[in-house]
Structures are given as structure tokens and as C-alpha cells.
Amino acid sequence: MLQLFSPAKINLFLRVLGKRPDGYHEIASLFQAIDLGDQLTLTFSTKDTLTCSNPDLPCGDSNLITKALMLFRRQTGLNTPVAIHLEKNIPTQAGLGGGSSNAATTLWGLNALHDFPFSEQELQTWSASIGSDVPFFFSKGTAYCIGRGEKVRDLLPLSLPSFSLIKPSVGLATPAIFQALKLQECSTLDPDQLLHDFMIGKHRFINDLEIPALRLCHSLAQIKEKHPTAFMTGSGSTMVILSGDTKPLHRKQGWY
Ligand code: C5P
């Protein structure tokens, strides 16, 4: 039996650079894994099962854990049935990458159950077909992601102010936020410059998806009013509230 931590992420900045012919958007984003996370348990079994502590979460083919299992089978031909249980702590439709993290953790866990026949690099490459954010979860916890988000460059841990998260009860769907985005409303700041500045301690928490999200979700505007330095992570609806003092973020734990 394997018990694995499946961390959430926040986007310290997220720039949208343009729309691509395939319908995705070209982005450049600084991703950071955080201590909030789910717990995944994987065991070889007599038949495939997926259970979840949250009864509202669908455990069928649409669940990214199931997609990761099917992908692993297709790529490897390894078909031993597995029982997977998910203890869900990361809110959904929150911009925290919970489903993507679960998918990456499932791929990693299946490979571990079979005694690591494939490299993490291979798992990471396969994982991009599940979702744009999934490859990030094979990084060491701090990474610069470009393309549609699936091209991941590992970075050293950053020193960042401590923060807390506010998640309004309403969730936001990623496709809807990208659809509501107007490119002319995006920042014009160079993402490579933003990254360079972050590395020398100059933090500009910019998220181009925040304007469309604020348009669609009134509670986000209320949070912004109350906490002017708050910024949104991913496609929302979680807001990150900075609390001032600077201390290093933990690196991702519990994977290796
Ligand atoms: O890759 P993923 O399945 O997570 O993306 C969900 C949806 O979000 C896509 O179908 C697309 O509408 C939008 N998206 C986008 N540009 C990205 C990532 C996602 O337009 N870079």
C-alpha cells in the first residue's frame, strides 16, 4: 500500500501572452506547490476502484485520477487492478490545481507500485495529455511554466511572504475564465522580467485571469476591496492574501 501527499499549487504570477490556433492560450507562469494537499492511497487489488472522502466528487471516467490510470495502462501495458482512495482537502474549481495534482500523484504512485519501470521525465511528458497543469506536479515545487503551462522549468525555492488563502463558496471553471478573457486587458509586463524580479526578491503578483474572473464573480471583487494586496491563483476562485513577514516556503513534501 502506498500513501502519498498530493499538494495544491498557487500561481505567483500568470501572464497570458496570446491565443493559439489550437484554442489554448500561450501563458507564462510562476508556479509554487504549497503545504495544503490531498492524501492518495493506492493498493494492488482484485478490481479497479476509486473512492473519495468527498461524496460530491464524481469518481467515474471524468475524474483526473481515472484518466491518469487509463493513461498509465495505455502507455505501459501494465494492467494489474488497483484500489485508489482520495482524502480530499483541496477545494475544487479553486485554481489550486487539485485535480491535476491528483493525476500526477496517481501516475507517480502507479509507477512506484510497479517498482519504477519508467522515469519521472517520461511520466511528466505523458501527463500533459491529461491537462496543462499536470506536468508541473513532477517539478520540485517551484517552477516556471510556459506553452499552455505544460513546459516546466524547475527553479530553486524562493523566499516569499507568508500568506493565507480565501476561497469563496462559488467555484470558477477554467474554460469559462479563458473564454471571458480579453487580451487587450492583459498586463504588458515581460514575464521573463517578472521571473527575474521574483528571484531577486521583487515580487509582482500579477494574474491576467483576474480581470475576467472579477467580472464573473462578485465575491472576488469584495475580497479585493477588503484586502487590496490579494491576488487570484490560476483561474480562481481562490485569492491569496499576503501577510507581510518574509520566510521561505516549504518545498513540496511527501512525494519522494
Ligand atoms: O489543459 P486543461 O484541460 O486544464 O484546460 C482546460 C481548458 O482551459 C482548455 O480547454 C482551454 O479552454 C483553457 N485553457 C486555455 N489555455 C491554457 C490552459 C487552459 O485556454 N493555457
Domain check: are 31 and 143 in the same one?
yes
| 149 in contact with ligand 1, CB cutoff 6 A | yes
DSSP state of 226: H
Q: Tell which one of 17, 24, 64 to mutate to probe ligand 1, the residue whose CB is within 8 A of the most ligand atoms.
A: 24
pLDDT above 70 for 245: no
Q: Where among 127, 154, 181 does a domain terminate?
A: 154
Domain check: are 99 and 13 in the same one?
yes
C-alpha cell of 89?
Answer: 482537502
Confidence of residue 243 (pLDDT cuts 50, 70, 90): confident
Q: Where among 117, 134, 154 does a domain terminate?
A: 154
Please tell me the distance from the alpha carbon of residue 126 to that of residue 110, in angstroms, as a whole number.
Answer: 13
Domain check: are 139 and 177 in the same one?
no
Give a yes or no: residue 256 inside a domain.
no
Mean pLDDT score, 233-256 = 66
C-alpha cell of 126?
Answer: 505523458
Give a yes or no: residue 140 inside a domain.
yes
pLDDT above 80 for 132: yes
| 236 in contact with ligand 1, CB cutoff 6 A | no
Per-residue pLDDT at 247: 52
Domain that holds residue 172: 159-248
Mean pLDDT score, 181-200 = 97
Catalytic residues, by residue number, are: 9, 133
pLDDT above 50 for 193: yes
Number of domains in the chain: 2
Give a yes or no: residue 28 inside a domain.
yes
Q: Where among 135, 154, 173 does a domain terminate?
A: 154
Give the pLDDT confidence of 162-177 residue by residue, as tens digits.
999 999 999 999 999 9
